[in-house]
């Protein structure tokens, strides 16, 4: 009897040990795409981000070291509490190993907290907040496509150099908008420009008339739009209706996606300067990805957020392959060790604070006459090298950066 008990105990101990040593949780690698699938960021992220993640998995072969890869998706509705609840459930109960996508800074930061606590990977390709790689950085957290700093440097510098040295800001009244305004104002002042004033408007506004009239009265050469998505679109449309752009004042969209330009039409958007980390019609590799993407998305070209999701998932899977496990910290270390080389980032590196540094592009929206076909919207004016585009590592307040 005692002997039988002993054997049973040994068997239990052995099987428990085996389960513990298993390098892949649940016997698969599970990637969760958590993004806005229904709200006002769904055009620039949404279903396209989910599709981009699936494409990356397919291109990788559907398996890593013989282990199947699965993609799941959910809608965070741009609410931090929903985002954090889904992330928690995914990590705790559904065996998700990494969360990607994450448009919207509030939702992104909420997921960052949960991921850090659980030691799981989160790769943000949609939010702009620099907090993700500063105060809120994490050993398993990454910031992939762009941040507010890079946008401010790209557009701010270029516009001031072209003589746009007096600015008035139209700012979305929430943390992201104020952050974008502050960063851009810093760049403008450093380049010798002047900020004449700013006006804050509520998020998701439909009527910009009073704000635009204030901007017009300021006589600033440049009206900086420190907002995003539908707000940017509405502001640009109404600026045209008020004759502001025809009156000689120029608009500088600080965060403009190609989906926004598509919604505006070239007639309205032409001549606008913007900074982007990806443009589909830039070179052979970016075109090849865009064509495949468009074939699956009803002809829509990928935004920098969607292209970023593809790039981040591919890099994650490479890291899992190298680490031979899906355990968060080990994969994160591999991700930092490996260079990023794909159509999205030709010479990207992942810094200790989790920021993926890559080249950004300054683009100008074409006039209807210049455009040769559907979605042919940008002229790339210049490439901003990664080390100039992003905040220097020495300035990062991330505790992981050794000084």
Partner 1 sequence: MTALPAAARHRQARIPVSRQMLLVLILLAAALAAPFAVYPVFLMKGLCYGLFATAFDLLLGFAGLLSFGHAAFFGFAAYVTANAARQWGWPPELAIPCGVAAAAALGAAFGWLAIRRQGIYFAMITLALAQMMYFVAVEAPFTHGEDGIQGVPRGLLFGLFDLSNSRTMYYFVLAVFVLGLAFLHRVVHSPFGQVLKAIRDNEPRAVSLGYRVERYKLVAFVLSAGMAGLAGSVKALVFQLASLGDVHWHASGEVVLMTLLGGVGTLFGPTVGAFVVVTIQDVFAEAGSWVTIIQGAIFVICVLAFRRGIVGMAAPWLARRGIEA
37 binds partner 1 (CB under 8 A): yes
Q: Which of 19, 93, 295, 394 binds partner 1 (CB under 8 A)?
A: 93
Strand 360-365 vs strand 378-384: parallel, antiparallel, or unpaired?
A: antiparallel
Residues 40-79 that bind partner 1 (CB under 8 A): 73-75, 77, 79
**Region 169-198 residues binding partner 1, contact defined as CB under 8 A:** 173-176
Question: Could you give the count of Cα atoms lying within 13 Å of 367 in the half-sphere of its Cβ?
Answer: 3
- 106 is a contact residue toward partner 1 (CB under 8 A): yes
> Is residue 81 part of the contact set for partner 1 (CB under 8 A)?
yes
Among 25, 28, 40, 88, binds partner 1 (CB under 8 A): 88
**Lookup result for tokens 């968060």:** 328
How far apart are the C-alpha atoms of 330 and 127, rounded to whole Å? 25
Taking the least distance from each CB to partner 1, the nearer of 86 and 235 is: 86
- Number of residues interacting with partner 1: please give it, by CB under 8 A: 30
Residue 86 binds partner 1, judged by CB under 8 A: yes
Min separation Cβ 227 and partner 1, Å: 13
Q: Which is nearer to partner 1, 105 or 232 (CB)?
A: 105
Choosing from 28, 40, 60, 89, the residue that interacts with partner 1 (CB under 8 A) is: 89
Minimum CB distance to partner 1, residue 76 (Å)? 9
Using the rule CB under 8 A, is 139 a contact of partner 1?
Answer: no
Interface with partner 1, residue 119, by CB under 8 A: no
Contacts with partner 1 by CB under 8 A lie at 37-39, 73-75, 77, 79-82, 84-86, 88-89, 92-93, 105-106, 109-110, 113, 129, 173-176, 202-203
């Amino acid at each position: 009897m005692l002997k039988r008990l002993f054997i049973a105990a040994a068997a239990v101990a052995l099987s428990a040990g085996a389960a513990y040593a298993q390098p892949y949780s649940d016997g698969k690698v599970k990637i969760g795409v958590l993004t806005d699938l229904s709200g006002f960021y769904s055009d620039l992220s949404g279903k396209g981000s989910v599709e981009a993640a699936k494409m990356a998995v397919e291109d990788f072969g559907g398996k890593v070291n013989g282990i199947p890869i699965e993609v799941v998706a959910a809608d965070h509705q741009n609410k931090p509490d929903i985002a954090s609840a889904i992330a928690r459930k995914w990590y705790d109960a559904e065996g998700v190993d990494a969360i990607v996508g994450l448009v919207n800074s509030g939702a992104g930061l909420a997921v960052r907290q949960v991921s850090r606590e659980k030691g799981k990977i989160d790769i943000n390709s949609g939010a702009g907040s620099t907090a993700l790689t500063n105060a809120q950085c994490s050993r398993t957290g990454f910031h992939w496509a762009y941040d507010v700093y890079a946008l401010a440097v790209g557009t701010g510098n270029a516009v001031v150099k072209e003589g746009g040295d007096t600015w008035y800001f139209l700012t979305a009244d929430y943390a992201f908008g104020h952050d974008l305004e502050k960063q851009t104002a810093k760049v403008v002042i450093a380049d010798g420009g002047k900020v004449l004033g700013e006006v804050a408007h509520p998020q998701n506004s439909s009527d910009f008339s009073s704000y635009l009239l204030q901007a017009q009265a300021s006589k600033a050469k440049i009206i900086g739009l420190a907002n995003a998505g539908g707000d940017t679109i509405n502001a640009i449309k109404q600026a045209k209706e008020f004759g502001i752009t025809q009156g000689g004042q120029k608009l500088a969209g600080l965060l403009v996606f190609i989906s926004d330009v598509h919604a505006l039409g070239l007639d309205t958007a032409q001549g606008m300067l913007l900074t982007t980390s990806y443009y589909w019609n830039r070179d052979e590799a970016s075109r090849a990805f865009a064509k495949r993407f468009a074939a699956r998305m009803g002809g829509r070209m990928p935004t920098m957020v969607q292209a970023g999701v593809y790039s981040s998932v591919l890099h994650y899977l490479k890291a899992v392959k190298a680490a031979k496990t899906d355990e968060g910290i080990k994969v994160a270390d591999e991700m930092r060790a490996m260079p990023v080389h794909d159509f999205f980032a030709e010479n990207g590196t992942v810094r200790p604070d989790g920021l993926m540094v890559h080249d950004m592009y300054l683009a100008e929206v074409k006039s209807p006459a210049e455009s040769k076909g559907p979605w042919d919207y940008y002229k790339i004016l210049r490439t901003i090298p990664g080390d100039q585009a992003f905040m220097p590592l020495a300035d990062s307040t991330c505790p992981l950066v050794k000084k």
